[in-house]
A and B are shown apart, each in its own frame.
Chain A
Amino acid sequence: MAAVHLEHICKRYRGTAQPAVDDVSLAVRDGEFMVLLGPSGCGKSTTLRMIAGLESISDGRLTIGGRQVNDVPAKDRDIAMVFQSYALYPHMTVADNLAFGLRRRKVPAAEIDARVRSAASVLGLGALLERKPYALSGGQRQRVALGRAIVREPKAFLFDEPLSNLDAALRVRTRNELVRLHKQLDATMIYVTHDQVEAMTMGQRICVMNNGRVAQTGKPLDVYRSPADAFVARFLGNPPMNVLKATVAARDGRPAARLAGGWLPLSRWDGAGLPDGDVLVGMRPEEVVLQEPRTTAEGLRGTVCGVEPLGAETLLLVELEGGAGEVTARVHRDVALAVGDEVGLGVAEAGIYLFDAATEQAIAAKEEQPA
């Protein structure tokens, strides 16, 4: 296995002003499971294809195992890729699909046979070796695609949204299998997805991308708990984080955020470090608690405009007073509220996030600032 380093990688297409990938730097450690996460069009697949050698690199430096590979053809990078559509050769059997790449590399027939049987055994494909792809289920095809990568014994594995075409139950099972495989092979894996559940559960580290740039890189829970900007804050979490416009003001001598629908305390922040005027206040739905609407000094007030019972819990959509926006709260399943009811909402101070209104960058609280 090998480490993969991207240094200021850019990708520009002819005729477009905005680069598809803009100054992306990322260090994937040897044996690490790194997830590239982001919405459609953010540049994650393009980045992956540049690592694979399927797209040229406009600027920057890419190294695999310490060797610069910018101009090295895909076949010589010793990398295997699993595609979203599996990319199985439809006219070949499973065994031939697994062996195809090895035959090109003039691997001896006996070794090809051994590797194919070993991969088939690991992935439960032993009984399917003589079948053609059209006779396989989606999950089986996915495992053949995986097997084709494994037999290559590459320095790194690349995955381009491999679970997108599977149903929900199979996706969960295959996700766990991939995590197990990663531990078993101790392989360097770079995994592209737009699904945050996959990112949070599979990645040792995640790299959130937006508009061709890296928004934040870190361990999944660290990124979830300390988002670098409002985009990352909204992207991670389901339902997404509530982000509202507010104004910084003083209340009882302490910094606070004033919204049309109420007040939120900002004691965790150093008042001197807060911007004058507008800020963005964030709170995750699970941090929002219900309180009496009329008797609260701090908190928000609004009217229920939607109730979504999910079984294990209920999602409340609340329209805040004064047009301050809409808040989604995750409440106990037995909460009996209906559309039109007045509610009060509170957030523990530890659950409040602050972002600059202009740049949307996170404003660090006192305890998060470097000493």
Chain B
Amino acid sequence: MRSLPRSAAAGSFARSLSRLLRSGGLMAAVVLYTLYSALPFAWVGTMSVRTTSEISAAHFAWPETFHWDKFRTAWVDSNFAQYFWNSTVVVVSAVAIVTLLGAAAAHCLARYNFRGNRLVYFVLFSSIVFPPQIILISLFQVLVEYDLYNSRLGLTLVYVSLQLPLTVYLLEGFFARIPQDLFDAAKMDGYSDLEIFWRIVVPVGMPAIATTVILNFIQLWNEFLFAVVLLSDQDARTLPLGIRAYMGDYFQDIGMIATGMMIAVIPVVVIYAFFSEKLIQGMTAGAVK
């Protein structure tokens, strides 16, 4: 059997090595980033079943005993059940309203050529630029005036106003790419504007809508600043405020903070798992014709 000439063999080896380095390098980068993202989460997970004194003695140790009763303590004794319910009511309501209003507004801005269309879009878009903190005091005063301070309804309305501009901005871009012919065809089929919105725009735009649902849910579920300013009663607290209660001026109950965080993260994981396929579709929609 004839062997390869020396130069050809060297070239083949170089190509194989280059391929190995490229795929190995890529794999190394993926592993590193996964560790960077997942390790802190895993660490909080381990701390959630360890006591604060165990954590103080050895910060990163694997639990010797799994203190599952901490979750019961947080849920019952520390009133996390109530906080979880408050967060659920406020965030689910806010996300539902934002999604409905945002999708409808985005559809109108993307599809109808009315006077002031671009002005409305610009006003909505420009409100994204400003940090929400600058409206905090004004919001406080408005809610007090309308008896909405320290209420779930008040916080829900604030969350809707905070997330609506970004939602409209994201959806408007996607909806504008839906071909006009689809709407013309539906019009000729006899459907009204509202029916076209429900039967065509919402199903076709579901990847983008799912994206905004996930982003809004994650943002609002973890929202702390507006909640701490606009809620004062203990029973009205949302989960982030409940976790905050474990932080004193001189002592922080690290173990219970970690337990509270694990309780808080479960719905986010569920929502993401449920909508993630649509999220990826939404992110890549239009990338390839």
Contact = CB atoms under 8 A, between A and B. Distances in A.
Interface stretch (A98-106, A270-278, A314-322, A323-331): A98-106
Contact of B189 (A53, A84, A90, A101): A101
Nearest to B188: A74
A52 B188 contact: yes
A75 interface: yes
B279 to A, nearest CB: 17
Given A91-B203, A91-B204, A84 B181 contact: yes
Given A90-B204, A91-B203, A91-B204, A101 B181 contact: no
A361 interface: no
A54 interface: yes
A83 B179 CA distance: 11
A86 B181 CA distance: 8
Contact of B188 (A79, A89, A91): A79
Contacts of A64: none
Interface in A80-111: 80-81, 83-87, 89-91, 100-101, 104-105
B188 A54 contact: yes
Given A89-B200, A91-B204, A81 B188 contact: yes
A75 B192 CA distance: 10
B185 A74 contact: no
Contacts of B204: 89-91
Contact of A104 (B179, B191, B200): B191
Nearest to A158: B188
Indicate the size class of the contact surface on chain B: 10 to 19
Interface in A292-326: none
B190 A75 contact: yes
B181 A83 contact: yes
Interface in A13-57: 49, 52-54
Contacts of A52: 184, 188
A104 B181 contact: no
Contacts of A81: 184-185, 188
Given A85-B181, A87-B181, A54 B190 contact: no
A89 B201 CA distance: 10
Contact of A83 (B184, B190, B191, B200): B184
A100 B191 CA distance: 10
B187 interface: yes
B182 interface: yes
A87 B184 contact: yes
B189 A87 contact: no
A100 B195 CA distance: 12
Interface in A249-304: none
A48 to B, nearest CB: 11
A247 to B, nearest CB: 51
Contacts of A53: 188
A136 to B, nearest CB: 16
A195 B115 CA distance: 37
A91 B206 CA distance: 10
A81 B187 CA distance: 11
B182 to A, nearest CB: 5
A87 B179 contact: yes
Contact of B184 (A54, A79, A104, A148): A54
Nearest to B183: A87
B188 A80 contact: yes
Nearest to A53: B188
Contacts of A101: 188-190
Interface in A128-151: 148
A166 B25 CA distance: 44
Nearest to A154: B188
A144 to B, nearest CB: 12
A363 to B, nearest CB: 43
Interface of A: 49, 52-54, 74-75, 79-81, 83-87, 89-91, 100-101, 104-105, 148
Interface of B: 179, 181-182, 184-191, 195, 200, 203-204, 206
28 contacts: A49-B184, A52-B184, A53-B188, A54-B187, A75-B187, A75-B188, A75-B189, A75-B190, A75-B191, A80-B188, A81-B184, A81-B185, A81-B188, A83-B181, A83-B184, A84-B181, A87-B182, A87-B185, A89-B182, A89-B185, A89-B186, A89-B200, A100-B186, A100-B189, A101-B189, A104-B190, A104-B191, A105-B190
